[in-house]
A and B are shown apart, each in its own frame.
Chain A
Amino acid sequence: MTFKRSLGWLILLTVLAAWIILAQGMAGKIGAASLEGLVRVFSWPAFGYLLLGNLIGFAVGMLPGLGGPVTMALMLGFAFQLKMDAVEAFSFLLGMMAVTATTGDITSILFGIPGEGSTASTIVEGHPMAKKGEAGRALGASLMSSLMGALIGAGAIAVAIPIVTPLVLALGTPEFFMLTVAGVTFVGALSGGSVIKGLAAGGLGFIFSLVGLDMQTATERYTFGTMYLWGGGETGGAGIGLVPATVGLFAIPEIIDLATKGGSIAQAHVGRLGGVFQGVKDALRHWWLVARCSAMGTYIGIIPGMGGPVSQWVAYAHAMQSSGKQDQVGTGVIEGVLGPGAANNSTLGGALIPTIAFGIPGNVTTAILLGAFLVLGLRPGTSMLTKDLDVTFSLVWVLVVSNVITVSVCFLFLNQLARLTRIKGTLLIPPLLLFIYLGSYTHTNSFGDIIVTLIFGALGWLMVVFDWSRPALLLGLVLGRLADNYLWISYSRYEFGFLARPGVLIILGVIVMSIAYPLIKNRGRGRSAEAAP
């Protein structure tokens, strides 16, 4: 532990020193632009649009399937028609987007149904807490960590401005590939009891991720002649959508459970509603974990192709690993709520960095935002970091203000929300099923989405019965396609030479260390235990 912690401090101090050197001379300008950005966000009508955006985002986050990116694309036209200026439009669009990951955690915890594709991991520990009658505590913890994550993600934009070139361009595709490999090593932490079963589940997820048109040669893989499995993008894509698969894996087994057991979600008596405050305290007590997971979320946001769906699982795995409670996966470990709660919120801040600085969108959301930038007469690139720095800072403030408002409002209703877990299951099931199928259907608006949800529902139920790790499968599903794609590009560009790149070797070293360290530690512990008597 001491070794890990001192390594952490060393990295932190190095980064800080590098930043101070690079940021020299920019501090004054950053301060002034920051203040101006804040004023513009609070001026009318921008602030009104921000509140409207928050309200829409609140609902979108809670509704399963209806995701932030889709809604943003739909709202884009609205923003143009009202002839909003840049800050007004971003207050509206980003204000909406910024809170979806926050409220998406709520349905994950209460009903075991992910509100967003990026909030599924909160289910694993959060929903068992709700079943134990601790919904209030889980919600308090998740909201507080979401807020902290959003603040850190937003702060990262400000911090990144002077060091944006090395931050975004230091790593190339071969390094991205190695990072996905590093992600795969987390399967161990996600597997619960049996590592072998965890690896098998991860491998299965990997195979599922390959279904579709491959991104390099447009070859059909495992599509069995159905065009549904080609995927929905302009150049083809993943045949199995993340939302239908996630909703099926997690929500369907919960519904079956609720229907067969009878009663309400909370099987134990719902504890004193003061639990919310307990959750807030949990987040503050584990501030260092929340900070680490936020930082991870931010950096994953910067990497093209990755985003909330990846960062939540990596953060969850890291939280469980560092808590030392890997043998209690799925029993309601509070760290497992805090980690993903923070990471899925900080990812948006990270994804904005390359978009603002280079016009390189990190994910779908920022790709849509980039479209909005241009319509509003903003050119991403140097001008966003010099001439339009106040607009850039208004984005930062929109993230901050939106999350502060939404989390505060949520706290007001949290006790009422937690009471939902006491409603009789027979009353809850019909509306939940409606939302599940409606949500899945929005993936490609075709019946295939429902079939995928049902198949993954059956698979998820079997995995629960036979105690296989669903998180490991989902990690395989989100990382598989990325790993395949990054490996192909790396090989076709550098051939095997990519393995000799310094960045690749460093990440490889970290992977080897992270696998070897617990083994060595355990062996040492084993010896001292033998020697003790």
Chain B
Amino acid sequence: MNRRSATLAAVIAALFFTLGTATWGAAEVSFKGKTVAILIPYSVGGAADIMARQMLPFIGKQIPGNPTTIIKNMPGGGGIVGENWVYNSAPADGTIIGQFSTSVTDTIFKPTKVKFELAKLQWLGGVRETTVTFVSKDLGITKGTELGGVKKKLFFGTTSIQSPRSMIPRLLLKILGKDHKLVTGYGSSGDMRAAIRRGELNMTNDSQSGYFAAVLPMVEEGAVVPIAQEGTVQDGKIIRDPRLPDLPTYYEIVLELKGESVRKDPNYRAMELLAYLGGVRRGWVYAARVPKNVFDTMAASFDRFLKDKAMSAHFKKAIGFDLVSLNAPAAQAIIDKVVEIQKRDPEALEILKAMAQKP
């Protein structure tokens, strides 16, 4: 070996060593002087956007190097344009975090448009919410198990036939064999609350935030009665949401009325699948391309963010209940389960796909 190649070898070795320490040695990546954007795949002013804007001041201070944090809106395709962009085109340096609401169900209901693989997204964390079904007082019932005996015709309102939120109560009515009419096309939960008040609808459901904010006053007033909730997934089981301990889940109602044998009914299994699909209500994700050390740093930042007392106090005031958060492993576990059930139970999956096409 001559001198020249020895020098070259030394330089290469030094270079590898530096790179090596950069990637393996430093566990924590600093975002100092950078701008980290939370990408919202919807327009400014929607529920997802407003939530993220309230998060910003709390998340920025948890990320090493205290980067500037901003919101980037990329609306289109009901969220898919932004989801596809994060997965395929966003910079891989960790400065773009996607905040996804419907990525899980999009892979089922809009498979030809989705350009990402659910199993390959890296989940930084998320929040959990249940949904609540409520009925007009005119139906004269006080709990979900009485639904079968209602004499009046049921008019169940929802936004679109593909709305995953409405599918669980639709399945409940199907399993109970209860005739009903699905009325679709309402622009928002607000429109449906108005429709219930004027007697146009007598049954609908809402997100947990919507329930606490606007439906609870109607319950106190006696105009509507809550009858069932979706529940949340914990340790692989569907349980009542701890923030609504007195409201039974759809699954409890069905089991009480139909007995244990109902577990074999594909409609019931489709209902269970939906609970998992909704397990991460809003999740923060990185594309698969983002390096492991960057992911670890950001996942730890989100963990600190979700444990921040000032943050939870703010959200309790803003949404009226405690935020139940999922750290990176918990969110990842729910997504893994979704992927697994989809493979294991194609029959339940087909039922959901059919429901997205026909009432």
Q: Which residues of A contact B (CB under 8 A)?
A: 69-70, 72-74, 76-77, 80-81, 168-170, 172-173, 213, 215-218, 227-228, 230-236, 304-305, 354, 358-361, 364, 367-368, 370-371, 374-375, 377, 379-383, 444-446, 485, 488-489, 492-493
Contact = CB atoms under 8 A, between A and B. Distances in A.
Contacts of A361: 188, 190
B31 to A, nearest CB: 20
Given A233-B46, A234-B48, A215 B185 contact: yes
B319 interface: yes
Interface string B157-168: 001111100000
A234 B82 CA distance: 12
B50 A73 contact: yes
B53 A73 contact: yes
Nearest to B221: A382
B239 interface: no
A116 to B, nearest CB: 15
A72 B47 CA distance: 14
Given A76-B50, A230-B77, A354 B217 contact: no
Nearest to A373: B213
B44 A70 contact: yes
Nearest to B187: A305
Question: Which residue, B75, B191, B319, has most C-beta atoms of chain A within 10 A?
Answer: B75
Interface in B49-103: 49-50, 53-54, 56-57, 73-81, 101
B194 A354 contact: yes
Contacts of A230: 76-78, 80-81
14 contacts: A77-B57, A215-B159, A215-B185, A216-B185, A227-B77, A233-B42, A234-B47, A358-B193, A360-B190, A360-B193, A379-B213, A381-B218, A489-B184, A492-B183
Closest 10 CB pairs of A and B: A232-B75, A73-B45, A227-B77, A359-B214, A216-B185, A381-B217, A375-B318, A77-B53, A236-B78, A360-B190
B340 interface: no
Given A69-B45, A360-B193, A215 B76 contact: no
Given A227-B76, A233-B43, A216 B214 contact: no
A173 B197 CA distance: 12
Contact of B160 (A217, A227, A371, A375): A217
Interface of B: 42-50, 53-54, 56-57, 73-81, 101, 113, 155, 159-163, 181-188, 190-191, 193-195, 197-201, 213-214, 217-218, 221, 314, 317-320
Contacts of B193: 358-360
Given A70-B45, A304-B187, A371-B50, 4 more contacts: A73-B50, A217-B160, A227-B113, A374-B318
Contact of B161 (A72, A218, A445, A493): A218
B46 to A, nearest CB: 5
Contacts of B155: 493
A444 B42 CA distance: 9
Nearest to B57: A81
Contacts of B314: 80
Contacts of A72: 45
B219 to A, nearest CB: 11
A305 B187 CA distance: 8
Nearest to B159: A235
A59 B57 CA distance: 26
Contacts of A170: 198
A53 B201 CA distance: 39
A358 B191 CA distance: 11
A235 B194 contact: no
B160 A215 contact: yes
A359 B78 contact: no
A367 B190 CA distance: 9
Given A375-B318, A493-B183, A233 B75 contact: yes
A137 to B, nearest CB: 36
Contacts of B198: 169-170, 172
Nearest to A215: B185
Contact of A493 (B43, B163, B200, B320): B200
A489 B200 CA distance: 10
B59 to A, nearest CB: 12
Contact of B194 (A168, A213, A227, A446): A168
B187 A77 contact: no
A446 B190 contact: no
A372 to B, nearest CB: 9
B187 to A, nearest CB: 6
Contacts of B48: 234
Given A217-B184, A375-B318, A232 B42 contact: yes
Contact of B214 (A73, A305, A380): A380
Contacts of B186: 489
Contact of B49 (A73, A305, A359, A381): A73
B69 to A, nearest CB: 11
Contacts of B163: 235
A233 B197 CA distance: 26
A388 to B, nearest CB: 12
A228 B79 CA distance: 11
Nearest to A362: B190
Contacts of A233: 42-43, 46, 75, 78
Contacts of A69: 44-45
Nearest to A446: B76
Question: Which residue, A69, A170, A232, A367, has most C-beta atoms of chain B within 10 A?
Answer: A232
A368 B51 CA distance: 11
A167 B201 CA distance: 19
A375 B318 CA distance: 4
Nearest to A69: B45
Contacts of B43: 232-233, 444
B46 A234 contact: yes
A234 B78 contact: yes
Contacts of A74: 44, 53
A74 B78 CA distance: 21
Given A235-B78, A375-B317, A381-B221, A304 B45 contact: no
A374 B213 contact: yes
A109 to B, nearest CB: 28
A445 B101 contact: no
Contacts of A444: 43, 75-76
A234 B56 contact: no
Contact of A73 (B44, B80, B113): B44
A304 B190 contact: yes
A213 B184 contact: no
